[in-house]
Amino acid sequence: MNQLSVLKIVVLRLIEIFTILAIGLLLTVYILSPIYENFGIQFTGNVWVNWVGVSYILFVFYTIIVGLCIYKESELFKHRFTSILFWLLFIGSNYVIFIPFIKGENPF
């Protein structure tokens, strides 16, 4: 691969990351916050933890959709699917989002 194609791939990956983070922030502020407040959970403290959790869950769904439907033979997506850290972070992100419903407060 020449440097231009590598640069193109890096720029596309950065755009993907920033887009997922931006959508995750919007979902956290406009959807997750009202849901928490409807359940009597104050949305205060380190809410960036919730934002990163929502964003990572979006990243996993993006990876599943794109990896299974569009780029079936991509090595990048194959590595993600077989990565233990990828799935452990997904479990941790779900914990971050759903533990306030169990505890009745946002512990972060």
Q: Model confidence at 85, in pLDDT bands (50, 70, 90)?
A: very high
In the chain, where the domains are located: 3-103
Q: pTM for the whole thing?
A: 0.89
CA distance 91 to 107: 17
Q: Two tokens at 18?
A: 């920033």
Tell me: pLDDT of 59 over 90. yes
